[in-house]
Structure 1
Amino acid sequence: MSGSRRLASPVRLALNPCLGGDIDGAWWPHSFALAGELPELIEALHPVLGEVLDIKINWSAASGTAILKTLKSGAVSMHGWNDRQHRLMLISGRTNFARLLVVPSSASVRLGRLVMRRAASMSSGVEQDSSLCDMADAVVLAAKVECSSWSAEAFEAPADVTASAP
């Protein structure tokens, strides 16, 4: 089978065009079953990273799933994110690598989109809700701190990955 296929639920991925930051973007899976969506993520990253060689994550299969939601009062809750680390991925390709924040599939549409845009250093677009903007900024900042707290060898790009094509 060759060529790309059209997905019923397209990959929700936001990437900074300039990779190499603390967080390069975000992936927002549609369900808690990440393994089922991983092939589409890899396919979406192929043009930017080249052939994917390695994926590192900072959680185990036994880790609880984070939940990101807003409350009716307008205040924002990070239930599940206060007592667990942010889910991060380092995806290494043949020509580049990307550090991604994994947005919980249960995130509200408005907050999920905003977190993705903030993680990719994109403008907020039409989102004007300051409480949501503050929440998205807090999530991304905490993910950057989490990323920097990993040991150097656990979350470093492989030495053979370069920014230019082979």
Structure 2
Amino acid sequence: MTTATQPPPPSHPLLRLRLAPHSGMPRPIDGAWWPRSYDLLAELPRLLAGVPRAWGHITSATVNGATWAAAPGRMLVSNQVVRLHRTLTASAAHTIVLLAPGQGRWDLVVVPPDTTEEAAEQLMAAAAGGQA
């Protein structure tokens, strides 16, 4: 008798991030991120591990305070302190802003975790193409 077994799930789920092509012109949106939850302590380290190295060390992240679960004012990510800011402004309802001193600012659309795959793909493609 043989037993079919399922492979174990990956220990580090794939990062669902789509970035706009790099250009010399500033953009209002730099891409889109589709986290698996609104737990910033779990999701932010995955995001920061997946952003381009050219972005430098991200020292600050700003998210919508009404959307994300409560988090401390800072956290340690890869032995670096990242300050966490929460805002309630309407313009930040579905974005995360990442800052790296001397490198720049990156604004990403946050696709809600419970979005269907089809809808998320459309939102991410639009954001990466500059149509969000």
Unmatched tracts of structure 2, length 5 or more: 1-9, 69-89
Distance in 2 (CA, whole Å) between partners of 1:10 and 1:17 is 20
Unmatched tracts of structure 1, length 5 or more: 1-5, 66-82, 123-136, 141-166
Shifted more, 47-56 versus 104-113: the winner is: 47-56
Give deviations 1:67-110, integer Å, cap 9, x for gaps. Answer: xxxxxxxxxxxxxxxx9963211101242321111100000001
Q: Which has the higher helix share?
A: 1
Distance in 1 (CA, whole Å) between partners of 2:91 and 2:60 is 24
TM-score w.r.t. length of structure 2: 0.63
Matched, 1:87 2:87: no
RMSD (Å) for aligned C-alpha atoms: 2.6
- Any residues of structure 2 matched to 1:5-154 within 5 Å, and which? 7-18=11-22, 20-57=26-63, 59-60=64-65, 63-64=66-67, 86-94=93-101, 95-121=103-129, 140=132
Cα offset, 1:64, TM superposition: 4.8
Q: Which has the higher strand share?
A: 2
May I ask how many residue pairs the two structures share in their alignment? 99
Which consecutive segments of 4 or more residues in structure 1 shift more than 4 A? none
